[in-house]
Structure 1
Amino acid sequence: MVHPQEVDVIVCGGGPAGCVVAGRLAYADPNLKVMLIEGGSNNRDDPWVYRPGIYVKNMQRDGINDKATFYTDTMESSHLRGRRSIVPCANILGGGSSINFQMYTRASASDWDDFKSEGWTCQDLVPLMKRVELQLENYQKPSNSDTHGYEGPIAISNGGQITPVAHDFLRASHAIGVPFSDDIQDLTTAHGAEIWAKYINRHTGRRSDAATAYVHSVMDVQNNLFLRTNARVSRVIFEGNKAVGVAYVPSRNRAHGGKVHETIVKAKKYVVLSSGTLGTPQILERSGVGAADLLKKLDIKVVSDLPGVGEQYQDHYTTLSLYRVSNDTFTTDDFLRGDKQTQMEASQQPSPEKARLSSNCIDAGFKIRPTEEELKEMGPEFNKLWNEYFKDKPDKPVMFGSIVSGAYADHTLLPPGKYVTMFQYLEYPASRGKIHIQSSNPYVEPFFDSGFMNNKADFAPIRWSYKKTREVARRMDAFRGELASHHPHFHPASPAAVKDIDIKTAKEILPNGLTVGIHMGTWHRPSEPYDASKVHEDIKYTEEDDKAIDDWISDHVETTWHSLGTCAMKPREEGGVVDHRLNVFGTTNLKCVDLSICPDNLGTNTYSSALLVGEKGADLLLEDLGLKVRLPHAPVPHAPVPKGVAATQQPR
């Protein structure tokens, strides 16, 4: 495709929100020329993208994978005991939707209401939520909620087969006081467990990514959407304070003699920044929009003095713990371990709804809030936050938890056996970070401070949720012990001490016929499996045990790839960067449309929220352009309808 030197609208960044904006605008008017510029490669028909079960590979930093860019803290953090956190960001068309865990989660109603911005209440956004979703097979489970959609471009299902260990998890969760719910994504439920839906088209077995749904589908039938991949937007070009185009460079540094070779594209109507929470503020600052002191220091002409650019970085934090399960439990461990027979069988399964690789094997999870008794043990810092933020908003969960049917870890470092992974996710951290450029050169790494755990209030809920998921694991029928290397280092004499064994040693000393299942130091023959129903009391933890958990959190807490908040939508005098129509303060014809605009956190796996922000941004742009959204009424051209499947069940 020949790329024009001038278009009507330029969208900078091909993540979920950018794909929505580019696709909706181009489809609304075939005469409107739209260019989408993405720093990563094209995701179209890439098996590493569309096969849901191999998402783990896309998260690895191995020198081969180029689907993610890794931001590392510039300084060591005392809050992480001298560690530097690493935050991967997608570097591929479709953004995180092309490589993420595919977990379908929605923010709570109060999350959107907390934005306190005209047109952004939950009630305002529900119609757009419905517009996004194509819930295959009537949401695949009963739901009394009328907030779900059934004819949108994004397919959501349970994906492939649900592993039996998921039901084991739900039963054990109920035993510790987390009730089963048919739908905890109804915008109001904050304490319940469910079979977790996924961004997977059950009938094709493919991932539901934003580029396939919004970009490729339009480019297949129209010629007014121009896609430029492997190109990094360097800066916005201004005439006065009016955005009139962008300059971009090759994603790989090809500078010669220190010179950066830019390509200029003009925009007659709008420039839209959608390069994500960590990318958008850098483009703004290189363009002269940001804190004047910083820009002058870097010899960048100030277009708009906005000190809020790059500030208030937020994320969700996760820890994970591994548990041994019985050898007859279905897990992904043999596949991930590299067992050739298992991998061959998985790759050759023809039926999408039964294929192993058509699922992420994260089949169950919960949202939880602490009880009054549990709050008493969570310390003054968190209790203050609870009273100010959570107490009067019963729809906000404090933590998420989920189970992975396998070890989310490097299997070359694990003993033989089968495992499940318990993830604990902190949804509303009080900690904050920041990101700022250190040069006008787009290839120079920015200053980055993730801010992880720099507010003490964040330790208590993670500590609490570790204990909760540990109690769930102990009550599962499949439970056979704990992998000590993936748990806190408790004193050996403590009742909380992890019960584990060295597998190699066990094989040498145990007589034939004994399993490696261990619970509280006891052995079990195959005819005498561990009985989870006999677990009646929770583990008791001392102050020393809690300190061990907190140290473990500092040493192991990680990002969930849910960055947001660095270009907040709030008043300029409060550090805001965009107004309620996503216009950048002090400029014209420039909007930000991605999760950087969030003034507060969202309790969700953020793909759903990025799509929603994209739909809202597209509507605002169409209004400004005097156009209306046009909804397709035919299946995506390059996703053929399988035999026996109605066209209405396919992504649009």
Structure 2
Amino acid sequence: MGHPEEVDVIVCGGGPAGSVVAGRLAYADPTLKVMLIEGGANNRDDPWVYRPGIYVRNMQRDGINDKATFYVDTQKSSHLRGRRSIVPCANILGGGSSINFQMYTRASASDWDDFKMEGWKADDLLPLMKRLENYQKPTNNDTHGYDGPIAISNGGQVQPVAQDFLRASHAIGVPFSDDIQDLKTAHGAEIWAKYINRHTGRRSDAATAYVHSVMDTQNNLFLRCNARVSRVLFDANNKAVGVTYVPSRNRANNADVVETIVKARKMVVLSSGTLGTPQILERSGVGNAELLNKLNIPVVSDVPGVGEEYQDHYTTLSIYRVSNETQTLDDFLRGDKDTQKELFAEWETSPEKARLSSNAIDAGFKIRPTEAELAEMGPEFNALWDRYFKDKPDKPVMFGSIVGGAYADHALLPPGKYVTMFQYLEYPASRGKIHVQSANPYVEPFFDSGFMNNKADFAPIRWSYKKTREVARRMDAFRGELASHHPRFHPDSPAAARDIDLQTAKELLPNGLTVGIHMGTWHSPSEAYDAAKVHEDIKYTAEDDQAIDDWIADHVETTWHSLGTCAMKPRAQGGVVDARLNVYGTQNLKCVDLSICPDNLGTNTYSSALLVGEKGADLVAEDLGLKLRFPHAPVPHAPVPIGKPATQLVR
């Protein structure tokens, strides 16, 4: 299909929010011409996208992966002991929904209420949350939807080690719940849901659900991939009338810029994400006038908040040995040819039941500290607790999850089987920024992730490391710790990680940790492991806590959950867009992505990006005098032939 030089609406960025806006608007009116411009490749029928269990490849920065762009801190950070953070950003149609971990969580009700903007309270957004979901899990609450385009399930299989995790979590005071994504539960554990259709075994990505489905049935949605939007074009009244884009290429390539112009008769929507949208605005003349003048970019609107207040979620991981009988993905990840052949064949035959129809992240929890734990977390975090968490009982402080396998380079690991414990900080107090350094779209921006630049963020990560460690030690499958993936405690400290080989672990814990304690089988001479006390909480000294903090600084990394930089709040308070997502000082220009978040959201952000997209689609439709329509679903849950795109009508 040819690409017109003029359309009605241009959507810049084909991530989750942009896919929703483009698909909803195009389907609403078949005479409305909508163009979606995406910097990455088309995701359609890409096996590296639709097979859930191979997502790990998309996380690698190896010169082969072209599905992500990697932003690196421009300067070394003293808060990370001289490191530079690396923040990947999806570079493919569907955005993060095409390559992410597929973990389904939702923000708490107070997260949306904290935006303090008309139309954005949780109660206002709940109908849209339901509208987008095709929820395939049993639940006892009424906050989920069952007729939407985005499938949510437990995936093809749930590893037995997930139940082991839930039992051990309960032993340390984290109760089991059948659904902690109910907008209010902040302390509980569950079988972790996934963005996987349990009837087809495929990833449920936004482009398949909202873009391909419309393009299969209508001819008014024009898709331009491998094109980077350079800037927005304005008329004399600051009304957006089009955009320019350039061919996507290596970010280090500073060749001559050759722009293509597309005109927009009615609206331009920026949906290039927290890291992309502020750069487009600044190159277009919307941003801090002082910066723009230095770069010789004509000022359209002086909006100093553009590119400021960058936020993310932070993660650390620790690895534990488990018994040889434990089902994990280690042999697959290690590259064992027979195992890989077996798993791929299993997926081709019965994808709805296959091990690759899962992300191996089958259980997790949300947690809040007790009063006793708060007392040990230090004055910086306690001040944050009193201001931010204390009166909002629906806000978890940390997430934790178990991965059935070692999330690491297996070439560097001893033989054996492992589980990985992830700790996720959901509401960092730290902030960063991103700004262009040239009007040339190929020139790298200035980027400061801001990771850990607020001391309050160390305490909750330190606390959650201890909590997940206690869970691991109480699991029946537990066979010791991989010391290389833990803090460097003093060797004589009771907190020191015990790096024992698999044979010793099997002799020491012949029937698993809990069984061994209950049956009184501890008679091995390896009492140095202190097996008699392994079911008691480890005691940490101030020196141990410092070792954990140093480990955090050395290893904390992004969760791909970038937010902020174009905040929805009053302009005088550093805002960039208003409650209807209009960019201050312009006309016919909206931002619809997670850059508009004025505060953090305690969730894996795919769900929030979809929700912002649904809200944005409503707002654009209202401005254009359109009524969104939601057709009846096609034959439900029809299996998709292998090798064919998993299309599903947007609804």
* SS class of match (2:352): coil
* SS class of match (1:201): coil
- 5 Å-filtered alignment, 1:12-51, equals 12-51=12-51
CA-to-partner distance for each residue in 1:221-280, whole Å, 9 max, x for gaps?
000000000000000011121100000000016999952100000000000000000000
CA contact (8 A) 1:114 1:600 kept: yes
Aligned to 1:314: 311
For 2:433 and 2:638, the matched residues in 1 are separated by: 41
Aligned to 2:90: 90
Change (3 A) 1:407 1:293: same
CA contact (8 A) 1:103 1:196 kept: yes
Aligned to 2:529: none
The equivalent position to 2:298 in structure 1, one of 268, 293, 301, is 301
Gaps of 5+ in 1: 504-514
Kindly state the Cα deviation for residue 65 of structure 1 after the two structures are TM-superposed.
0.6
Aligned to 2:360: 361
For 2:387 and 2:542, the matched residues in 1 are separated by: 26
The equivalent position to 2:141 in structure 1, one of 140, 145, 154, is 145
For 2:588 and 2:301, the matched residues in 1 are separated by: 13
Kindly state the Cα deviation for residue 186 of structure 1 after the two structures are TM-superposed.
0.2
Kindly state the Cα deviation for residue 204 of structure 1 after the two structures are TM-superposed.
0.4
* SS class of match (1:102): coil
The equivalent position to 1:288 in structure 2, one of 274, 285, 288, is 285
Aligned to 1:607: 606
For 2:99 and 2:513, the matched residues in 1 are separated by: 42
CA contact (8 A) 1:480 1:530 kept: no
For 2:117 and 2:345, the matched residues in 1 are separated by: 50
- Counterpart check, 1:546 vs 2:534: no
Query: Letter of the aligned partner of 1:630 in structure 2?
Result: R
For 1:173 and 1:525, the matched residues in 2 are separated by: 22
Change (3 A) 1:447 1:8: same
Query: Letter of the aligned partner of 1:186 in structure 2?
Result: D
For 1:261 and 1:365, the matched residues in 2 are separated by: 48
* SS class of match (2:353): coil
Kindly state the Cα deviation for residue 414 of structure 1 after the two structures are TM-superposed.
0.6
Kindly state the Cα deviation for residue 178 of structure 1 after the two structures are TM-superposed.
0.2
* SS class of match (1:517): helix
The equivalent position to 1:517 in structure 2, one of 505, 524, 537, is 505
Aligned to 2:154: 158
* SS class of match (2:374): helix
Report the RMSD for the aligned CA atoms in angstroms: 2.1
CA contact (8 A) 1:155 1:650 kept: no
Structure 1 window deviating more from structure 2 (330-339 vs 346-355): it is 346-355
For 1:285 and 1:291, the matched residues in 2 are separated by: 8
Kindly state the Cα deviation for residue 352 of structure 1 after the two structures are TM-superposed.
2.0
Kindly state the Cα deviation for residue 528 of structure 1 after the two structures are TM-superposed.
9.6
For 2:373 and 2:172, the matched residues in 1 are separated by: 13
Aligned to 1:202: 198
For 1:104 and 1:267, the matched residues in 2 are separated by: 35
The equivalent position to 2:344 in structure 1, one of 323, 329, 347, is 347
For 1:587 and 1:266, the matched residues in 2 are separated by: 16
* SS class of match (1:193): strand
Aligned to 2:130: 130
Kindly state the Cα deviation for residue 635 of structure 1 after the two structures are TM-superposed.
2.7
TM-score with structure 2 setting the length: 0.94
Change (3 A) 1:148 1:475: same
Query: Letter of the aligned partner of 1:179 in structure 2?
Result: P
CA contact (8 A) 1:641 1:650 kept: no
Aligned to 2:170: 174
For 2:5 and 2:316, the matched residues in 1 are separated by: 47
CA contact (8 A) 1:479 1:530 kept: no
CA-to-partner distance for each residue in 1:185-242, whole Å, 9 max, x for gaps?
0000000000011000011000000000000000000000000000000000111211
Kindly state the Cα deviation for residue 546 of structure 1 after the two structures are TM-superposed.
0.0
- Counterpart check, 1:107 vs 2:107: yes
Aligned to 2:222: 226
Aligned to 2:526: none
CA contact (8 A) 2:230 2:245 kept: yes
Kindly state the Cα deviation for residue 439 of structure 1 after the two structures are TM-superposed.
0.4
For 2:635 and 2:246, the matched residues in 1 are separated by: 32
CA-to-partner distance for each residue in 1:431-477, whole Å, 9 max, x for gaps?
00000000000000000000000000000000000000000000000
For 1:527 and 1:124, the matched residues in 2 are separated by: 49
Kindly state the Cα deviation for residue 637 of structure 1 after the two structures are TM-superposed.
11
The equivalent position to 1:279 in structure 2, one of 248, 258, 276, is 276
CA-to-partner distance for each residue in 1:9-43, whole Å, 9 max, x for gaps?
00000000000000000000000000000000000
CA contact (8 A) 1:406 1:419 kept: yes
Change (3 A) 1:467 1:314: same
For 1:424 and 1:205, the matched residues in 2 are separated by: 27
Kindly state the Cα deviation for residue 537 of structure 1 after the two structures are TM-superposed.
1.3
Query: Letter of the aligned partner of 1:17 in structure 2?
Result: A
Change (3 A) 1:285 1:203: same
For 2:69 and 2:85, the matched residues in 1 are separated by: 14
CA-to-partner distance for each residue in 1:58-108, whole Å, 9 max, x for gaps?
110010110000000000000000000000000000000000000000000
For 2:75 and 2:631, the matched residues in 1 are separated by: 48
- Counterpart check, 1:475 vs 2:471: no
CA-to-partner distance for each residue in 1:485-513, whole Å, 9 max, x for gaps?
0000000110101101356xxxxxxxxxx
- Counterpart check, 1:531 vs 2:516: yes
For 2:466 and 2:601, the matched residues in 1 are separated by: 24
CA-to-partner distance for each residue in 1:404-429, whole Å, 9 max, x for gaps?
00001011111100000000000000
* SS class of match (2:320): strand
Residue-pair matches, total: 631
Gaps of 5+ in 2: 519-531
Change (3 A) 1:119 1:651: closer
- Counterpart check, 1:262 vs 2:259: yes
The equivalent position to 1:248 in structure 2, one of 241, 245, 250, is 245
CA contact (8 A) 1:569 1:576 kept: yes
- 5 Å-filtered alignment, 1:477-626, equals 477-501=476-500, 515-517=503-505, 523-525=508-510, 531=516, 535-626=534-625
For 2:275 and 2:31, the matched residues in 1 are separated by: 33
TM-score with structure 1 setting the length: 0.94
For 1:308 and 1:545, the matched residues in 2 are separated by: 40
- 5 Å-filtered alignment, 1:419-430, equals 419-430=418-429
For 1:256 and 1:474, the matched residues in 2 are separated by: 50
For 2:513 and 2:395, the matched residues in 1 are separated by: 42
